[in-house]
Amino acid sequence: MRQTGSFRPLDFDESTATAEPWERLHELIAAGQPAAILPFLTSLAPGETARAMDRLSEGDQLALMTLLAPEDAADVLDTMTDGQAADLVEEMSAEQAAAIVQELPSAMQADLLGDLEDEDAQAILSNMRVPRRTEALRLMAYEPDTAGGVMMTEYLAYREDQAVADVIEDLRANADRYQDFDIQYAYVLGERDRLVGVLRLRDLLLTAPNVGVASIMIRDPLRVADNTTIEDLKRFFDEHAFYGIPVVDQDDRLVGVVRRAAVERGLNQRATQTFLAASGIVGDEELRSMPMVFRAKNRLSWLSLNIILNVIAASVITLFQDTLSAVVILAVFLPIISDMSGCSGNQAVAVSIREMSLGLLRPYEYMRVVIKEGSLGILNGVALGIVLGALAFLWKGNIWLSLVVFLALAINTLIAVLAGGLIPLLIKRLKFDPAVGAAPLLTTVTDMCGFLLVLGLATMVLDKLV
Amino acid sequence: MRQTGSFRPLDFDESTATAEPWERLHELIAAGQPAAILPFLTSLAPGETARAMDRLSEGDQLALMTLLAPEDAADVLDTMTDGQAADLVEEMSAEQAAAIVQELPSAMQADLLGDLEDEDAQAILSNMRVPRRTEALRLMAYEPDTAGGVMMTEYLAYREDQAVADVIEDLRANADRYQDFDIQYAYVLGERDRLVGVLRLRDLLLTAPNVGVASIMIRDPLRVADNTTIEDLKRFFDEHAFYGIPVVDQDDRLVGVVRRAAVERGLNQRATQTFLAASGIVGDEELRSMPMVFRAKNRLSWLSLNIILNVIAASVITLFQDTLSAVVILAVFLPIISDMSGCSGNQAVAVSIREMSLGLLRPYEYMRVVIKEGSLGILNGVALGIVLGALAFLWKGNIWLSLVVFLALAINTLIAVLAGGLIPLLIKRLKFDPAVGAAPLLTTVTDMCGFLLVLGLATMVLDKLV
């Protein structure tokens, strides 16, 4: 452990807020005092660095990166979100960026370079030291949500003909470098770097130095293929109490180690992205410190799809202008019925996405969804229909109006939960992200059907309504 | 590592699906063949156990728990979601439940007992072995999203007057039990169990057996208080390359260890819960294997709040019946404008929730949100307003109608992003979960204001519209 002392959590009491840390940081940067900046950054409570960086102007951020030593700059970069870090690195010269990027842990390095424009990434790579560059290129070739995409290359490996004494000597000689590895296993490689065993470092304690590692290693250990998905990794760690698992390529060569925390982190990022996508923040993550035009454009790209779908759905209403003219209060029920069905459908969307991500529902199990959502949809549709029908009767005293409202909401709720349950499966089978497309498609269905039901049913009993 | 061999990922190709694993499992349970069940479960690909348990009837699940040895039953329980495991445990006798629960890791044990009805939890606790019971009671006292709530109690601790030889002897004597600990540090305790140092187990390799642990330990190591929030723990691990951090109570006594993976896991659960809550799955998580009445009731509790808010919002329309009668096509624009504003507002909700969870936005920073969302709202409002206004003009050729539509959508978009950005901050300050309340409140605001704007503006220029 490189630091001592107690950990000071962030103080959220605004009444004590004086100058904000980024204001002080801005002053130090403006004064160009490299000697004062590092102690100041170190003095900040965890999280304060992230917030200070978020609030600094891009100019200040760049100046700070130049004032700090590359390894300290890398630590600061590490506190920023992936998008922020990529934006900042793209503003640097390739030389400066390379010096900082090669100080990042291997997994983060590949993620960051992958987030950059191809040109920028190439320029930075060509300025990196050869071993780091080779490693980064190798890691960047993997899909992000696979074992290769989340593994790290900081691990210990020895050859099977080495002795315990060799391992201990290596540990001693490289103690400083291995400090950051934080590992308790070493891997044993056979010919052509094939993984043949795993060595519990603790076992070295109990073994004479002249014994060969091959005789105390655990042979033929569990391993995962480099293309194992993050969901399968999650299941693996659910079933095994390991901190990490070695990753091999198709020739069974050791290529990295996936830690349990990296898997949880990947799933955390995915869950966050699902929430953002379902809320209409699609593509790049948005933070309010980003340029306004970028934010507006990003949000508009999603909204313009929605406005088209909305107009299509609402055009159903134009088919029933005569009915609406005759019974204008129907206009009150149109948004209620379409909104409520949208809510019911969204619940079913969320359950389908969640069940698929847990591995409990497979994308081809349509019938299960139809049965489970259908029965619930009838129950909830009737319940909600009765409530709205009763309100309509209390308001207008017309049993036919209340029947129209009841039927429209009951039937549309059933349609909504069926559509909501099934749409994510369809999108998943088409290899798209269900969180992105489900809500707009669902709303179009529930709006169109809702308008059609209210106005269609009303037209059928028009003489009873006027 | 307790198993060897390669990890077989789940096969998702439905064309090869023959009998599903839970059908086979059902047969084995029905035949009451304990000897055949464990090998069958072990043969399942990871994830298949979870899916099989999801699909088994409650009766089969219970029978399976009885057929398996408690430690194997605990492993199976571990593959289920928290809610499923709690449901199943509540159906067991207290004796059976206690035998299984005490085989779970400490953190999971406390979580599960916390999910049960108080009565059931008490009955199970009183049937547990004393040390496990005491430990469970202690862990259950902590808030879930704090260091105490996510820490584990499986760690190694020695007294500062012990020697390296004592540690090695203990490691050797308890090798089996420590196997599951998977740790690389041991903690050194001073008087009254105060944390005084940390011992890197690797360092024992390089030390003579008669040396005291006090002389090779790292003194005054970093630690966190047991009430540290999960967000602060995340920041801590972002800044330090540790796998775990010791947790102390207010008297600086060691009470547990928080692993990085447990923090990521907690945040993952929270992000998932945010997504589900924002989609209207509130309170208990829903899986389609749960009883239909439970699912319907859970969804209805959320929908009934929405129907009330929807009716209130739509009642605005009743104030303008004369305007609507005169210009019935306004009814087409009402749902478009309220829906589109809802979409814009939801984007702002998501960004606020995300920025708060990253620690980049504090709940009292209203002005920042107003400025950042206000400028974006004007830009996007004008853009969307022009699109819809132009469509209205193309359709009806009435410049006044298109002006009404333009203004209503532009102004309501601004209102929506301001409300969407601010509502999560307000809910957070009231100590509620922003993900649960934000969407219904926002929709009410955007619906009411949207209807009011369209119909109010139309009423002002009514003679130009008819």
Task: Kindly state whether B464 is in contact with chain A, defined as any CB-CB distance less than 8 angstroms.
Answer: no
Distance from CA of B210 to the nearest CA of A (A): 14
Contact B300 A384 (CB under 8 A): yes
Angle at A459 between CA A390 and CA A331, to 5 degrees: 55
Run of H or E residues at B371:
helix B366-396
Q: Which of A293, A306, A359 lies at the smallest CB-CB distance from B343?
A: A306
pLDDT of residue A95: 94
- A223 CB neighbours in chain B (<8 A) are 6-7
Least Cα distance to B334 among A197, A351, A124, A324 occurs for A324
Q: How many whole angstroms separate alpha carbon A363 and alpha carbon A432? A: 12
Q: What is the pLDDT of residues B102-111, one digit of tens each?
A: 999 888 898 8
Chain B CA closest to residue A344: B303
Q: Which of B232, B295, B380 lies at the smallest CB-CB distance from A296?
A: B380
Task: Kindly state whether B217 is in contact with chain A, defined as any CB-CB distance less than 8 angstroms.
Answer: no
Chain A CA closest to residue B370: A288
Distance from CA of B271 to the nearest CA of A (A): 5
A52 Cα distance to chain centroid: 23
- A391 CB neighbours in chain B (<8 A) are 311
- B318 CB neighbours in chain A (<8 A) are 329, 332
Distance from CA of B292 to the nearest CA of A (A): 6
Task: Kindly state whether B359 is in contact with chain A, defined as any CB-CB distance less than 8 angstroms.
Answer: yes
Distance from CA of B440 to the nearest CA of A (A): 10
pLDDT of residue A241: 74
Task: Kindly state whether B368 is in contact with chain A, defined as any CB-CB distance less than 8 angstroms.
Answer: yes
Chain A CA closest to residue B285: A351
pLDDT of residue A238: 79
Q: What's the rounded mean pLDDT across residues B260-265?
A: 90
Q: Could you tell me which residues come within 8 angstroms of residue A419 by beta carbon, excluding any fewer than 6 positions away? A: A345, A348, A441, A442, A445, A446
Higher pLDDT, A466 or B91: B91
Distance from CA of A179 to the nearest CA of B (A): 9
User: Which residue in the block uniquely carries the two structure tokens 């009491």?
Assistant: A13
Contact B303 A265 (CB under 8 A): no
Distance from CA of A181 to the nearest CA of B (A): 8
Per-run averaged pLDDT (10 residues), chain A, 466 residues:
45 54 90 87 81 92 93 89 91 94 88 91 93 90 92 91 89 77 81 91 78 90 93 85 89 93 90 92 88 92 93 94 94 95 96 92 94 97 97 96 98 98 96 90 96 97 92
User: Which residue in the block uniquely carries the two structure tokens 């201990």?
Assistant: A168
Task: Kindly state whether B382 is in contact with chain A, defined as any CB-CB distance less than 8 angstroms.
Answer: no
| CA dist B347 → A301, A302, B107, B304, B380 (Å) | 12, 10, 36, 24, 12
Distance from CA of A300 to the nearest CA of B (A): 7
Contact A360 B306 (CB under 8 A): no
Contact B206 A172 (CB under 8 A): yes
Distance from CA of B58 to the nearest CA of A (A): 16
Q: What's the rounded mean pLDDT across residues B210-226?
A: 91
Q: Could you tell me which residues come within 8 angstroms of residue B463 by beta carbon, excluding any fewer than 6 positions away? A: none
Q: How many whole angstroms separate alpha carbon B426 and alpha carbon B239? A: 30
Distance from CA of B281 to the nearest CA of A (A): 6
Mapped onto helix, strand or coil, the DSSP state of residue A436 is helix
pLDDT of residue B20: 84
Task: Kindly state whether A441 is in contact with chain B, defined as any CB-CB distance less than 8 angstroms.
Answer: no
- A330 CB neighbours in chain B (<8 A) are 331
The total of other beta-carbon atoms located within 10 Å of residue B330's CB is: 27
The total of other beta-carbon atoms located within 10 Å of residue B251's CB is: 9
Task: Kindly state whether A281 is in contact with chain B, defined as any CB-CB distance less than 8 angstroms.
Answer: yes
Burial class (CB in 10 A: 0-12, 13-18, 19+), A194: middle
Task: Kindly state whether A72 is in contact with chain B, defined as any CB-CB distance less than 8 angstroms.
Answer: no
Higher pLDDT, B136 or A182: B136
Distance from CA of B92 to the nearest CA of A (A): 23
Task: Kindly state whether B387 is in contact with chain A, defined as any CB-CB distance less than 8 angstroms.
Answer: yes
Contact A314 B335 (CB under 8 A): yes
The total of other beta-carbon atoms located within 10 Å of residue A16's CB is: 7
Contact A351 B259 (CB under 8 A): no
Burial class (CB in 10 A: 0-12, 13-18, 19+), A271: buried
Run of H or E residues at B408:
helix B399-429
- A199 CB neighbours in chain B (<8 A) are none
| CA dist A262 → A144, A151, B6 (Å) | 12, 7, 20
Distance from CA of A396 to the nearest CA of B (A): 12
Contact B3 A268 (CB under 8 A): no
pLDDT of residue B14: 45
Chain A CA closest to residue B225: A7
Query: b/e for B24-57, b at 16 or more Cβ within 10 A?
Result: ebbebbeeeeeeebbeebeebebbbbbbbbbbbe
pLDDT of residue A10: 46
Q: How many whole angstroms separate alpha carbon B50 and alpha carbon B61? A: 12
Run of H or E residues at B86:
helix B82-91
Contact A339 B223 (CB under 8 A): no
Chain A CA closest to residue B327: A325
Contact A47 B329 (CB under 8 A): no
Distance from CA of B115 to the nearest CA of A (A): 19
Predicted structure pTM score: 0.88
Supply the ipTM of this predicted assembly.
0.88
pLDDT of residue B180: 62
Which of B53, B77, B202, B258 should be substituted to probe chain A, the one whose Cβ sees the most A Cβ atoms within 10 Å? B202
Q: Give the B window 106-165 contacts with A, CB below 8 Å.
A: none
Reported as a pLDDT band with limits 50, 70 and 90, residue B15 is very low
- B194 CB neighbours in chain A (<8 A) are none
Task: Kindly state whether B250 is in contact with chain A, defined as any CB-CB distance less than 8 angstroms.
Answer: no
A vs B, Cβ pairs < 8 A, gives 407
Q: What's the rounded mean pLDDT across residues B199-207?
A: 78
Run of H or E residues at B255:
strand B254-259
Tell me what the pLDDT averaged over chain B comes to: 89
Task: Kindly state whether A378 is in contact with chain B, defined as any CB-CB distance less than 8 angstroms.
Answer: no
Task: Kindly state whether A328 is in contact with chain B, defined as any CB-CB distance less than 8 angstroms.
Answer: yes
A31, A61 contact by CB (below 8 A): no
Angle at B153 between CA B149 and CA B159, to 5 degrees: 130
Least Cα distance to B74 among B106, B118, B120, B121 occurs for B106
Angle at B346 between CA B343 and CA B352, to 5 degrees: 150
Task: Kindly state whether A384 is in contact with chain B, defined as any CB-CB distance less than 8 angstroms.
Answer: yes
Contact A275 B274 (CB under 8 A): yes
User: Which residue in the block uniquely carries the two structure tokens 């590692």?
Assistant: A213
Q: How many whole angstroms separate alpha carbon B315 and alpha carbon B40? A: 60
Q: How many whole angstroms separate alpha carbon B120 and alpha carbon A89? A: 55
Contact B304 A369 (CB under 8 A): no
- B451 CB neighbours in chain A (<8 A) are 335
pLDDT of residue A171: 84
Q: Could you tell me which residues come within 8 angstroms of residue B251 by beta carbon, excluding any fewer than 6 positions away? A: B192, B194
Query: Which tokens is B309 given?
Result: 């808010």
pLDDT of residue B347: 96
Chain A CA closest to residue B371: A288
| CA dist B461 → A296, B335, B466 (Å) | 31, 21, 9
| CA dist B205 → A76, A155, A198, A201, A206 (Å) | 34, 19, 18, 9, 9
